[in-house]
Amino acid sequence: MARPHIEPFCDRDVHFKNMTLPGFSPGMRYKMLSLDTDSGACSMTVQLDAGYRQPPGFSWAERELMIVEGELRVGDRTCRKGHYFYIPPGYAMPEIATSDGCLVLMMYNTSAPSHEEATEHHPLAQTALYHDVDSYMDIPWAPGNLVKPSVASGCMIKLLNYNPISYAMTFLYFMSPAFFQDNISYHDCAEESYHLWGTSWMMQFGNLPTGGYFWRPAYINHGAFASELGCIALGRVDSKLFNHFHYNPWTTPKENRDRAAARVYQRDPLLYRWMVSHSHNHPHGPEDFEQTMARRGVDNKGEARDVAKEGHRHEHWHGVHKHEDHDHGH
Amino acid sequence: MTFKTQSIEHPASPETQAWLDEEIAEQEERFNAIASHVDSLEPRRRQWYREFFDRINTLGFNADGDSKIPIALDDLPVQPEGRKDQVVWKHGADGD
C-alpha cells in the first residue's frame, strides 16, 4: 500500500548494499530510503564507486537525480555537487561515469529501478520534459512563501521541478540558523525530504541530522519546527502543497483530512456541494476539529469533552448520507 | 515527484520481483524500528508540547509566515481521553 511513513530515518545509520538489479553496472551501491510496495517506486542514497561507468540507456520509470558529493560525468559534461536531473521515462541518457566516486540521490517515481541500454529514446518518451540544472550555482534562493499560508521567514527555497497538472514539486530548501516556526502543519499531499547538510528539529520526531530523511504520507502532523545551526535539504511533494496550520498535537490523520475537506466546504461551498452530491452527501461538510476539539477553557469544556468521548459529533440537516460504518436517511 | 502521467508500462522481471520482495521485508523492519524509537520519545514530547503551548500562549502561534497570534490559555487543546500520543501513522489517513 504505497510508501509507509518513514520518519525520522538517517541513512548514516545503515550500510550500503550492492545493487543487484539487472542492467546496472558493478560499483553501484545503495541505501533504501523509502519504497512504494505496490509500484516499486523508491528513493535511494547511491554510492557510485571510483571508476563506475554505466552505458547509455533509459529507465521505464520517471526519475530524478541529485549529486550530493563528488563529480559525475554525463556524456561530455562534468556535473558537480548540487546538480539536479529530471528524466522522463524512456529518455536515453548518455554514458554516466565517475573517476573518483560520487554520492547521488536517486528517485524512481513510478516503478522499480531499471536500466535498459539504448542510445535512442523510447518512442513513448516525452523528451521535452527532460531538464537538469546546477541547483547550487545557477538558481537564486527565493522566499519560502510560494504557498499561502506560508512558512516563517528564514526558510527559503529553490524550485527544481514543477508539474503543472498535479502541482507536484521538487525543491531545495534551507532553514537559517536560529530558525523557528511555532505551528503544527499537515498537507493534502505526501512530503519527502533528505537533509543534504545540517540539522532540523520537529516537535514530534526530534532532530533530523545530515543524511536524515522522511517520507510522510498526507495529513500527518509535523511541527513546531526549529533549526539551531541551519540546514539545507531536498524536498518533494507529490501534489499541491497547502499548509494546514493548527496547534492541536493530538489530532489523527483522519481528523486532519476531515478538517481539510471542511475548509473546502467553508471556502468553496458550491464547489463542495457539487463534488460530494453524488456520493458522500454531507450538505453541512465534514467535521472541522478546530471547531469541536476539547479545549482547556471552561465554556468549551462540556460540549467539547462529549465530542472527545464519542469520537465524532454529527448534526444531520437533511438528505441521505453515508458514514464509514452505516448508511442512513432522514 | 510522481507526475502520474509519466510512466511507460513494463512488466517486472522475476529478478526485479525478488529484489522488491526483499526490500519490502527490510522496509517493514525499518518501519517497526522507527515506530518504536518515536514511541520512546513520548516523555520528551510531552515536555516539548508543554513548551510549545507556553510559546504560542506568550509569543504567539505562526498563523501565516511571521504573523503570530497569541492563543489564550482557555483555547489550548486538551488531549482526548484514552487517546495515545501517536505521531507515526503507517499509511496516514488510509490506515491505522
Q: What is the DSSP string of A283-315?
A: TT-S--HHHHS-BSSHHHHHHHHHHHHHS----
Q: Is the pLDDT of residue A329 over 70?
A: no
Q: Is the pLDDT of residue A29 over 80?
A: yes
Nearest to A245 among B63, B74, B81 (CB): B63
Tell me which chain A residue has its CA closest to the CA of residue B29. A6
The reported pLDDT for the residue numbered A279 is 56
The reported pLDDT for the residue numbered A288 is 81
Q: Which three-class secondary structure string do you get for A46-68?
A: EEECCCCEECCEECCECEEEEEE
A142-246 matches A16-134 in CATH topology:
yes
Which residues lie below 8 Å from residue B93, measured CB to CB, with a gap of 6+?
A217, A218, A219, A252, A253, A254, A256, A257
Question: How many interchain CB pairs under 8 A, A with B?
Answer: 226
Given a contact cutoff of 8 angstroms between Cβ atoms, the answer to whether A199 and A208 are in contact is yes
Q: What is the pLDDT of residues A128-187, one digit of tens each?
A: 999 999 999 999 999 988 789 999 999 999 999 998 888 999 999 999 999 999 999 999
Task: Establish if A20 touches chain B: CB-CB under 8 angstroms.
Answer: yes
Looking at the complex, report in whole angstroms how far the Cα of residue B49 sits from the nearest Cα belonging to chain A.
Answer: 7
CB contacts of B62 in chain A (<8 Å) are 152, 181-183, 245
Using the beta-carbon criterion (under 8 Å), do B62 and A42 form an inter-chain contact?
no
Q: What is the pLDDT of residues A278-325, one digit of tens each?
A: 555 555 667 788 888 888 885 554 444 444 443 444 443 333 344 444
Given a contact cutoff of 8 angstroms between Cβ atoms, the answer to whether A116 and A23 are in contact is yes
Which residues lie below 8 Å from residue B40, measured CB to CB, with a gap of 6+?
none
Q: Is the pLDDT of residue A328 over 60?
A: no
Residue B78 and residue A280: Cα distance in Å, rounded? Answer: 30
Q: Is the pLDDT of residue A212 over 60?
A: yes
Given a contact cutoff of 8 angstroms between Cβ atoms, the answer to whether A256 and B94 are in contact is no
The reported pLDDT for the residue numbered A165 is 82
Residue A110 and residue A126: Cα distance in Å, rounded? Answer: 15
CB contacts of A85 in chain B (<8 Å) are none
The reported pLDDT for the residue numbered A272 is 84
The reported pLDDT for the residue numbered A284 is 60
Average pLDDT over residues A66-83: 98
Topology of A16-134 in CATH? Answer: Jelly Rolls (2.60.120)
Average pLDDT over residues A16-41: 97
Q: Is the pLDDT of residue B5 over 70?
A: no
The reported pLDDT for the residue numbered A315 is 40
Residue among A3, A5, A187 with most chain B CBs within 10 A, to mutate: A5
C-alpha separations of A310 from A55, A185, A313, B76 in Å:
61, 25, 7, 20
The reported pLDDT for the residue numbered A146 is 79
The reported pLDDT for the residue numbered A275 is 77
Q: Is the pLDDT of residue A326 over 60?
A: no
Using the beta-carbon criterion (under 8 Å), do A1 and B94 form an inter-chain contact?
yes
The reported pLDDT for the residue numbered A271 is 84
Can you give the residue ranges of every domain in chain A? 16-134, 142-246
Task: Establish if A309 touches chain B: CB-CB under 8 angstroms.
Answer: yes
The reported pLDDT for the residue numbered B96 is 55
Using the beta-carbon criterion (under 8 Å), do A217 and B89 form an inter-chain contact?
yes
Name the CATH superfamily, with its identifier, for domain A142-246.
Answer: Jelly Rolls (2.60.120.10)
Using the beta-carbon criterion (under 8 Å), do B61 and A182 form an inter-chain contact?
yes
Across A2-35, b (16+ Cβ under 10 Å) vs e yields bbbbbbbbebeeeeeeebebebbbebbbbbbbbb
Mean pLDDT, chain A, rounded, equals 89
Task: Establish if B18 touches chain A: CB-CB under 8 angstroms.
Answer: no
Using 50, 70 and 90 to split pLDDT, how confident is the model at A36?
A: very high
Residue among B4, B5, B8 with most chain A CBs within 10 A, to mutate: B8
The interface residues of chain B toward chain A in range 49-68, judged by CB-CB distance below 8 A, are 49, 52-53, 55-56, 59-66, 68
Given a contact cutoff of 8 angstroms between Cβ atoms, the answer to whether A110 and A121 are in contact is no
Average pLDDT over residues A248-272: 93
Nearest to B90 among A5, A153, A182 (CB): A5
Q: What is the dihedral of CA A76, A80, A84, A87, to 10 degrees?
A: 30
Question: Per the confidence metrics, is the pTM higher than 0.90?
Answer: no
Residue B36 and residue A200: Cα distance in Å, rounded? Answer: 21
Given a contact cutoff of 8 angstroms between Cβ atoms, the answer to whether A224 and A202 are in contact is yes
**A91, three cell numbers:** 529518455
Nearest to A180 by CA among A118, A121, A223, A213: A223
Sole residue written with cell 531538464 = A131
Give A99's DSSP letter: S
Which amino acid makes up residue B54?
D
Between A30-34, A40-44, A243-247, B2-6, the lowest mean confidence (pLDDT) is in B2-6
Work out whether the CA dihedral A117, A121, A127, A133 comes out positive or negative: positive
Looking at the complex, report in whole angstroms how far the Cα of residue B2 sits from the nearest Cα belonging to chain A.
Answer: 5
Q: What is the pLDDT of residues B17-69, one digit of tens each?
A: 999 999 999 999 999 999 999 999 999 999 999 999 999 999 999 999 999 99
